[in-house]
Structure 1
Amino acid sequence: MTVRTEQMTRLFVYGTLRPSESRWPAIEEFVARAEPAKLEGFRMHALPEGYPAIEPGQGEVIGTLLHLEPALVVAALAKADQIEGYIEGSPDSLYERVVVDVGGADAYTYVYHPNRRDHLHTRGRLIESGDWLNRG
């Protein structure tokens, strides 16, 4: 078992939480720096509700790696959890917050909850580009 001795301060976002997108203002105050990034081994879908969801699969997701202010990580994640409908340990969560490798660095991101993937596959539309900003 690996014990994390430092608090992770990175969050990979790929949809409405990206800079310039609709929910960016809700987390902007927690961000020290943002940089373009890619997440390998995932694919993105556009949902009819007007936001994207990702799941493990062949492909890549284009997004932004947010470097959170260390003193504000807990507040930043609480806000992001609320936006993403994540409730730790709950099968009713919309998304799960997981740790992924983004360019060799661990980061949190949100993947669509496995209990909801049927909705993703029946109502969602695969975004071939993997980029919410280029969803066509």
Structure 2
Amino acid sequence: MSSSVLCHLFVYGTLKPGEHAFANLCEPFAIAAQPAQTIGRLYHLPLGYPAMTTESGWVQGVLLTLSSSDALKAIDAFEEYDPDRPQSSEYQRSLQTVYDQNQRPLGRAWIYTMSPEQVSRCRGLWLPHGNWTETLIA
């Protein structure tokens, strides 16, 4: 990926503005942030962070526009995603359509998801409202 290419990333957990990982990993690259949602199902993991699957439902989050696609390298490491070995990664990274709060498409963005089987192995707790914050789980 070229470092000069804008990058869109949908975040729903610790990478959202106001959560602990945003300042170090996303804020240096973020040039825009807007509330958004995407199709999926959100879970809280006992490890203290969320996971999203591509099952039916809505996940609330933030669509970030990053000034450089190089930001994904550090975020991939944080999310334990290895693009050279995706099958052995904790999360998978893929492009998915993201919507505004009125369910109008905003475009496609990178998103990190887990398989339903992996969420089950991790004893994930389904969040039917589709919204996760660290303050709710503290």
Calculate the TM-score normalised by the size of structure 1.
0.83
Cα distance in 2 between the residues matched to 1:109 and 1:67: 13
In structure 1, C-alpha distance between the alignment counterparts of 2:76 and 2:59, rounded to whole Å: 20
Q: Which amino acid aligns with 1:111?
A: T
Compute the TM-score of the two structures, normalised by the length of structure 2: 0.82
Q: Which residue of 2 aligns with 1:77?
A: 72
In 2, the alpha carbon distance for the partners of 1:118 and 1:57 equals 12
Q: 3-state DSSP class of the match of 1:29?
A: coil
Amino-acid identity (%): 34
Structure 2 partner of 1:31: 30
Q: Which runs of 4+ in 1 moved over 3 A?
A: none
Structure with bigger helix share is 1
Gaps of 5+ in 1: 1-6
Deviation at 1:9, TM superposition (A): 1.6
**Partner Cα separation in structure 2 for residue 110 and residue 8 of structure 1:** 18
Structure 1 CA distance for aligned equivalents of residues 108 and 58 of structure 2:
16
1:101 counterpart = 2:97? yes
Aligned AA (2:111): T
CA RMSD, Structure 1 to Structure 2 (Å) = 1.9
Structure 2 distance, partners of 1:120, 1:135, is 19
Matching residue's letter, 2:23: P
Structure 2 segments unaligned to the other structure (5+ residues): 100-104
